Amino acid sequence: MNMTKYFDAIDRTDLFKRYGKILRAVGLMIESRGPEANIGEVCYIHRPSHAPVIMAEVVGFRDETIMLMPYGSISEIGPGSLVESTGKPLTVKVGPGLIGQVINSLGECLDGSALPKGLTSYLTEQPPPNPLDRPTISEPIQVGVKAIDAMLTVGKGQRIGIFAGSGVGKSTLLGMMARYSTADINVIGLIGERGREVREFIDRELGEEGLKKSVVVVATSDQPALMRVKGAYTATAISEYFRDQGYKVNLLMDSVTRVAMAQREIGLATGEPPTTKGYTPSVFSTLPKLLERTGTSSQGSITAFYTVLVDGDDMNEPIADSVRGILDGHFILDRNLAEQGQFPAISILQSISRVMTSIVTKEHLDAAQQIKELIAAYEENRELIQIGAYKRGTNQAIDRAITYHPKIQAYLKQGTDDYYAMDESISQMQTLLNGGA
């Protein structure tokens, strides 16, 4: 037996553990003199007591000190606490056994139980696929929501932004898509959510059937900024793993705005200058790196839905504007429609699916366009119609829009427990236009 390679491995092994020492901790940031570590590597901070070590990540350097950001609380550490480098970035355990689990940003079960056996380690930060290795989006994927399947058809591997203010129904819509989609696996990232909403989403919106084919990654609003950012990376990494196994994956992330806010906290703590609305430059470089990782690849596809929480319903605020420019379409949830009792409150005229024209039949596209024209004609003359200033017979297009308006409104409404297959949604739309109820 040739033992040379084993002797060489022994010769290369470092038999010493090298530690650094904490110099100071200010706000989110911990400064340490040593150890040798690169940006992105995970370190262990040893506390004086016998308490478990604290995991932290190297996020920058300043002179001879390294800057660390912890994944958890920094209680019981002080000047001189030892810092040990693992020499590698954050990895999580992934595999088919993870389906049905609720985990945190580090890949640990949220209920404290042990992970299933047979999982493999996977880096949370991966490069996006080569653009030339991405197959074009050529077929639709059903999400089970009539307004989307018929009017704003989503393609397999498309990336969509769901834009809305607070309380307009984003989470409920995500739950419906998770339950009714034809994707093989759902990966759901609940980033920056209130703790109360996590259990409600899993029990009410997702349900037992939805959880059976889902992996839920949770990083609540009380957790450090780095954990919230890592939650988004972990959810994306799990999606990539299943895509590489050939699965059709849905990634549903609520919300990318809170990821951006967490990255802003990290940027400001490391000394970056604030720019637009206080967001640091790293926010606008992180977003495309994160969002471009999803989509099609030569093995499988990730169809991604990212919710974007817009401040004061301002669709042009910096994060909304940046995300809209990166993704392949956007759905706008209108507060006025929600207040009128329409769910889902999707504004058909303001929303767009950029690949719809390439993946649906001409008959389907023509029918959807006719519906949009009828909605547009009614909306342009809404005030005249409502105050009674418009007289029927004046304009044929407006007359038709008035006739069809209640039918269209009824068609676009859907209860959270109502399931419609895509063929059924399209058929109902065509029946509506042909004079049916």
Say what the pLDDT of residue 210 is: 86
**Which of residues 331 and 14 earns the better pLDDT score?**
331
pLDDT for res 58: 92
- CA neighbor of 126 nearest in space, from 270, 318, 319, 302: 302
Q: Name the pLDDT band for 11 (thresholds 50, 70, 90).
A: confident
Residue 118 token pair: 């047979």
pLDDT of residue 406: 92
pLDDT over 60 at 437, yes or no: no
Comparing CA positions, the residue from 400, 336, 373 lying closest to residue 169 is: 336
- Region 1-16 average pLDDT: 73
Q: What is the pLDDT of residue 366?
A: 94
Distance CA 432, CA 105 (A): 46
More reliable by pLDDT, 77 or 83 = 83
pLDDT of residue 436: 56
Query: Helix and strand tally (H, E) in the chain?
Result: 15, 17
pLDDT mean over 56-82: 86
Helix (H) or strand (E) holding 306: strand 301-309
User: What SS3 class is residue 84?
Assistant: strand
pLDDT band per the 50, 70, 90 thresholds, residue 195: confident
Q: Look at residue 98 and give its three-state secondary structure.
A: helix
Q: Which two tokens stand for residue 317?
A: 């605020």
Residues shown for the chain: 437
Q: Is the pLDDT of residue 275 over 90?
A: no
Question: What is the rounded distance in angstroms from the CA atom of residue 211 to the CA atom of residue 207?
Answer: 6
427 CA to centre of own chain: 31
Given a cut of 60, whether residue 248 has pLDDT beyond it is yes
pLDDT at 364 over 60: yes
The pLDDT value given to residue 14: 66
Residue 98 has pLDDT above 90, yes or no: yes
192: alpha, beta or left, given left = phi > 0 and alpha = psi -120 to 50?
A: left
Strand-pair category, 214-220 with 185-193:
parallel
State yes or no: pLDDT of 17 exceeds 80.
no
Q: Is the pLDDT of residue 323 over 70?
A: yes
Lowest mean per-residue pLDDT among 28-37, 152-161, 236-245 = 28-37
Q: How far apart are CA 195 and CA 408, in angstroms?
A: 38
pLDDT at 367: 94
Share of the chain above pLDDT 90, in %: 53
Indicate the pairing of strand 29-33 with strand 54-62: unpaired
Q: Is 390 exposed, middle or buried (0-12, 13-18, 19+ CB in 10 A)?
A: middle
Helices (H), 191-280: 195-200, 207-211, 225-244, 256-269
